[in-house]
Amino acid sequence: MNAAGIILSNLNDCTLSRLTEQRTVAAIPFACRYRLVDFVLSGMVNAGLQNISIVANYNYRSLAEHIGCGKDWDLARPWGGIRFLSPYQTSGSGDTPLHAHRMETLKSIAAYLREYKEEFVVLSDCTDICSIRLADVIRAHRNKDADLTLLTTPCPPSFTAKFPVLMMRADSDGKVLDMVKSTGYHPEYPQRFLSLFVFRTRYLNRVLDQALAYNHRSLTDDVLMKQTGEKKYYAYCHEGYAAFLSGFLDYYHHSIELTRNEAARQSLLFNRENPVYTSLQHTPPALYKEGAEVYDSLIADDCIIEGKVENSILFPGVRITRHATVRNSVLFAGTYVGQGSTLNCVVSDEEVVVSDHSQLSGSKHLPYYISRGCNV
């Protein structure tokens, strides 16, 4: 595909603040062995994109370590491949605040974007998780001669979000008729935006020129919602599984959902037509010792289990010792659960140690969170 990719790694850091104290949104662990960036990055690679940039404002050490040179995505190349971009500031920029909107980030890398030779630009952040054939989206964008195509999904009546998200309605051909922002279901705007744009490159450059001239700060508020009737905006509706992480509770619910929802696992993790790639750790397989019991859980490599695990997700290197019980929990890499301990509705960050005979319990509406490196 004649397209370049841009991934915004820090967008919505504040709404996932418990998980982004020492990492970006893109680097948040998800589904046993992946990071959030893996889903959008793999979609780009599967579509044949060979020039991909990750924009990182701050706090991206773990993301850079995870991506490395990009070899696990076949992006370790002398030309193109994958690279990190830091928003560009001059000596006259002063104390410029960290970018909170897409447009602010795009303006800061405008000079770089103008060098693109590709016909299209795919722009995405990492808070929407789905398995989409991006090549089909780009092909539909080209066939309709669109200025912009937005990836959408049908919005269920139960939908809620911690911040306003873009909702839209489109005609039978997919042309966007109107857009609004809402924190919940809106019956007149049945499609929810999935945080992925496909731009025609020359149109994106015109948008950036206008933004710099008129000091636009928000891509959706200052450009898209005002030009919907004037420009060729189309929606590409994804009918399959999609998870939206607007906050910590969303992260917990969608993680636990994967242990119970076979269709979600098949769609997201085991889709042979659109596989998800991640950094290979070359670790030994999980070890289940005598007396171990595991039910409806996702267990990563290098885990050692002697106790009981139910409806939980364990990342690499987790150890559940004898007579310990873990239910409805998400344990990040290196978590140690001591003998006789019980965890229910717990999210533990990396390298956490739970002492012997501890009793920790949250609820499905308020999971108990343990910060990275804590001894409990």
| pLDDT single digits (tens) 129-144 | 999 999 999 999 999 9
- Using DSSP bridges, classify how beta strands 34-35 and 29-30 pair: parallel, antiparallel or unpaired: antiparallel
CA distance 297 to 311: 5
The share of the chain scoring above pLDDT 90, in percent, equals 86
Token pair for 316 = 């690499």
DSSP state of 223: I
Do the beta carbons of residue 276 and residue 269 sit within 8 Å?
A: yes
Tell me the one-letter amino acid at 276: V
Q: Which residue has the tokens 């706090």?
A: 59
pLDDT attached to residue 79: 85
Across all residues in the chain, what is the average pLDDT? 93
Q: Which residue has the higher pLDDT, 104 or 47?
A: 47
pLDDT, one tens digit per residue, over 151-165 is: 999 999 999 998 999
CA distance 286 to 51: 36
Architecture of domain 287-370: 3 Solenoid (2.160)
Q: Is 156 left (phi over 0), alpha (psi -120 to 50) or beta?
A: beta
Nearest to 258 by CA among 297, 303, 315, 300: 297
pLDDT attached to residue 355: 97
Domain boundaries, the chain: 3-268, 287-370
pLDDT attached to residue 58: 86
Return the bridge partners of 359, or none. Answer: 342
The share of the chain scoring above pLDDT 70, in percent, equals 96
CA distance 14 to 290: 43
Q: pTM score, two decimals?
A: 0.95
Stretch 8-22: mean pLDDT, rounded?
89
Split at pLDDT 50, 70, 90, the class of 230 is confident
Nearest to 197 by CA among 245, 143, 128, 246: 128
Does residue 49 carry a pLDDT above 70?
yes
Stretch 38-57: mean pLDDT, rounded?
96
Q: From the CB of residue 285, how many other CB atoms can be counted at a distance below 10 Å?
A: 10
CA distance 193 to 342: 40
Give Cα 64 distance to the centre of its chain.
Answer: 15
CA distance 368 to 370: 7
Architecture of domain 3-268: Alpha-Beta Complex (3.90)
pLDDT attached to residue 94: 45
Lowest mean pLDDT among 93-107, 278-292, 342-356: 93-107
187, with CB counted inside 10 A (0-12, 13-18, 19+), is exposed
pLDDT attached to residue 91: 46
Residue 159, H or E segment: none
Does residue 99 carry a pLDDT above 90?
no
Does residue 174 carry a pLDDT above 70?
yes
pLDDT attached to residue 88: 59
CA distance 286 to 284: 7
Q: Got the DSSP string for 285-338?
A: PPEE-TT-EEES-EE-TT-EE-SEEES-EE-TT-EE-TT-EEES-EE-TT-EE-
Nearest to 46 by CA among 149, 162, 133: 133
Token pair for 93 = 């920029």
pLDDT attached to residue 11: 84
Do the beta carbons of residue 8 and residue 86 sit within 8 Å?
A: no
pLDDT attached to residue 327: 98
pLDDT attached to residue 321: 98
pLDDT attached to residue 12: 83
3 state SS of 238: coil
CA distance 200 to 209: 15
Residue 295: HSE in the Cβ half-sphere, 13 Å Cα cutoff: 7
Q: What share of the chain is helix, strand, coil (3-state, %, to 5)?
A: 25, 30, 45
pLDDT attached to residue 228: 85
Lowest mean pLDDT among 131-135, 199-203, 213-217: 213-217
